[in-house]
Structure 1
Amino acid sequence: MAKRGRKEKDNWKKKRRQEYLEKKEFRYYIFCEGQATEPKYFEGFKRYIEDNPIYRDMVLIEIEGCQAETMRVIGKAEEYVRKNKIAKGQIWCVYDKDSFPASDVNGVVQRAEVLNQKNPDVQYYAAWSNECIEFWFMLHFAYYTANNHRSEYKKFLNEKFQELGIGKYEKNMDNIFEILMNDGNPKLAIRYARRIIENGKGKTPAEIAPGTKVHELVEELAKYLPEEVRVLF
């Protein structure tokens, strides 16, 4: 009897969760290569959106830290969609080029294009950074086009943070969203990222160095932020 009771309780939870999901008009499933740096950044959007009385009951944001690279990120996203029977939503894969082969970095975009032919209600997007997410962070402070090693981006951030009196830049910072929003310039970062992508038109993600498409996900989520925050984007 006890076992059956637990099963019934689990089924009830699943049913309630499904009902909760179906009430949300806008759904974003974000799969991050890392388990902390990127998830903590996007958790900032989630916090502010869930505090926004206008959109909090309309927008679903789920963030998964995959601890996986390039093609494995979209593989985990596909598995999640299949396992949870996701019937509607935007599936975002956030990943870095780092030192991975160009075929893998570009392969996520190619795989997304294939998957997007199958179901118009479930669409996949690649929010890549070449070389790393720190390049997107750096654009909040400067327009930068030098194709340097990712260690230079972290060095830049470290110096900028110390200059601003924030302290040393660290990966996995809990307040990275607020730092970039309040001490950096998200609006300029978006403009810079767009310009770099436009200048690299016709090139693959691996060939746009440095570059990022994280701004496309940021623009999507920024639509639902409270007005006093949204104006910064």
Structure 2
Amino acid sequence: MAKCRIKTGFNFREPPTKEDYDRVLIVCEGKTEVNYFKELIGYLKLSTVNIEILDIKQTTPDSLFNRAKELYRASKKQGNPFDRVYCVFDKDGHAKYQQTKNHIDQVTPKNTYYYAFSEPCFEFWLLLHFVKTDKPFSNFDDLKKDKKFKQYFPNYDKSENIFNNLQDKVSIACQNAKHNPHTNVDELIDYLKQIK
């Protein structure tokens, strides 16, 4: 005997819808960044149709930017272009780091491509959720040895979702990053906060 299904009129799994604000692509070079921004988008209650976050598995800032341009052109060809494209990358000793930042500043169309950088690594941005510092670290291993980093991230794992521990401190991180020469991730966060 077949089971009878009762229609309730409720769709419990409604797909996300495109909202009346900018369509943004955020491309990242690592899992930590992707996890952080996906959780941030949920925390800010932004539509995942408007904001796409991708780990495109490119290991250098220039290859990340080249892939971002390809994705932008594809979105434009499909008739649904991104209003802004952000490349999130670290310095991490990359030879073309500064060259890529300069290229993004000069590329057309203007006001489409942006970068959110951290020196030496994204974990510097995470540390700013707890302390204000402009201490120059040479690489991730150098940062990991820092007393403050060990205090706030004693068992840090790059693949771990840590945003829940940071969400109440995002505004602190943005404030601590103002005028900091080692990151501008706060500019992307500020943009996302005001997008709605």
Of residues 162, 178, 182, the one that matches 1:194 is: 178
Q: Which residue of 1 aligns with 2:3?
A: none
Of residues 154, 172, 191, the one that matches 2:159 is: 172
Letter in 1 for 2:166: L
Distance 2:82 2:28 in 1: 19
Q: Which residue of 1 aligns with 2:88?
A: 94
Q: Which residue of 2 aligns with 1:217?
A: 188
- SS at structure 1 position matched to 2:71: helix
1:103-156 CA distance string (max 9 Å, x none): x1112222222323xx35x61001011100010001111122222232232344
Of residues 90, 103, 113, the one that matches 1:124 is: 113
> What are the equivalent positions in structure 2 for 1:132-171 lying under 5 Å apart?
132-149=121-138, 150-155=140-145, 156-162=148-154, 168-171=155-158
Distance 1:159 1:32 in 2: 27
- SS at structure 2 position matched to 1:26: coil
Q: Which runs of 5+ in 2 are unaligned?
A: 1-16
Letter in 1 for 2:144: K
- SS at structure 2 position matched to 1:84: helix
Letter in 2 for 1:154: K
Distance 1:154 1:56 in 2: 34
* Higher share in helix: 1
TM-score w.r.t. length of structure 2? 0.78
CA contact (8 A) 2:27 2:56 kept: yes
CA contact (8 A) 1:138 1:153 kept: no
Q: Which residue of 2 aligns with 1:14?
A: none
1:13-58 CA distance string (max 9 Å, x none): xxxxxxx66x643111000011x11000000122234xx4xx649x
> What are the equivalent positions in structure 2 for 1:200-211 lying under 5 Å apart?
211=182
How many aligned residue pairs are there? 173
Letter in 2 for 1:196: N
TM-score w.r.t. length of structure 1? 0.66
State the 1:157 CA deviation: 2.9
Q: Which runs of 5+ in 1 are unaligned?
A: 1-19, 163-167, 198-210, 226-233
CA contact (8 A) 1:30 1:93 kept: yes
Letter in 1 for 2:163: F
